[in-house]
Amino acid sequence: MDIKKVGVIGAGQMGNGIAHVFALAGYDVLMNDISREALDAALTVIDTNLERQVSREKISADAKAEALGRISTTLTLADLGPTDLVIEAATERETVKAAIFEDIVPHLAPHTILTSNTSSISITRLASRTDRPEKFMGFHFMNPVPVMQLVELIRGIATDEATYKTLHGVVERLGKTSATAEDFPAFIVNRILMPMINEAVYTLYEGVGSVASIDSAMKLGTNHPMGPLELADFIGLDTCLAIMNVLHDGLADTKYRPCPLLTKYVEAGWLGRKTERGFYDYRQDPPVPTR
């Protein structure tokens, strides 16, 4: 199936990154959010990130202008109905995603492929809330979307081969690489990454190391671009906790229990970079460890 027009639901850090890479690859993008401020902020972020690529000579100034020209925004979810592909990138809460699918389904064209950028929630269960489980898939981008090469493709139990092949081709056109995962809690990347981050928080909680020593040990000792606590702040501690809970509930194994210190940070509203405080305090430059 030929995809031309793409709808993106959610203008947060994942949604604006997804809109960015699709527009750059020549797709027409319609981005939706419930907040006009969020849509305006997303357009500013996309402009800045495209400019970064122009200044590093990764893309031309013309390519940037064309990409920006391909992105439009709407506050009305139903406007995404006539698109060929919809990517839901709203908050990582199942009730929010289910409500969005319920609202959009009556407006979708029969051929539209519906996907979720969920990082951990069951694709089969989300698909069952729609009228098109055979045209529903997990389409999981990594943050920052313009930089990260991987897209996870997750088939629900009912997803048909044509839908899978179409999305596989879309990933290639984006210049990215896909990894196919079965639909089990948190798929591949987060099944492995989140227990590592959670273990880093336990290492801090038990006093084995400080924030600085844990991050520097993993950066310099295993060549990770970011330490696990810095990465947790980058992803968002609420998202990390939500994914650990999906693993814990879905696999019913105590090895996935979220660290109480991670829960405490989230309860404090210290969610990482987006709230300017997490394992580091970003109100100062350079950021200062909070423990």
Residues tagged active-site:
119, 140, 152, 190
- Which structure tokens are listed for 176? 């990215």
**Burial of 194: CB neighbours in 10 Å, binned 0-12, 13-18, 19+:** buried
* Shortest distance, position 81 Cβ to ligand CAA, whole Å: 27
How far is it, in rounded angstroms, from Cα 30 to Cα 82? 10
Binding site for ligand CAA (CB under 6 A): 49, 52-53, 56, 58, 119, 142-144, 146-148, 189-190, 193, 225-226, 231, 235, 239
Q: Which is nearer to ligand CAA, 108 or 193 (CB)?
A: 193
Q: Report, in Å, the least distance between residue 94 CB and ligand CAA.
A: 15
Residue 247's CB: how many other CB atoms inside 10 A? Answer: 23
Distance CA 273, CA 252 (A): 31
Q: In sequence order, which residues have a C-beta less than 8 Å from that of residue 180 and are 6 or more positions away?
A: 152, 153, 154, 155
Residue nearest to ligand CAA (CB): 119
> How many CA within 13 A on the CB side of residue 285?
0
H-helix or E-strand spanning residue 155:
strand 150-155
Cα(52)–Cα(30) distance, rounded to whole angstroms? 23
Q: How far is the CB of 110 from ligand CAA (least distance, A)?
A: 31
In the bound state with ligand CAA, the residue whose beta carbon lies nearer, of 150 and 158, is 150
Nearest distance from residue 76's CB to ligand CAA, in Å?
Answer: 28
Does a cis peptide bond (omega within 30 degrees of 0) precede residue 286?
A: yes
**Least distance in Å: CB of 101 to ligand CAA?**
19
Distance CA 283, CA 273 (A): 9
Residue closer to ligand CAA, measured from CB, 61 or 147: 147
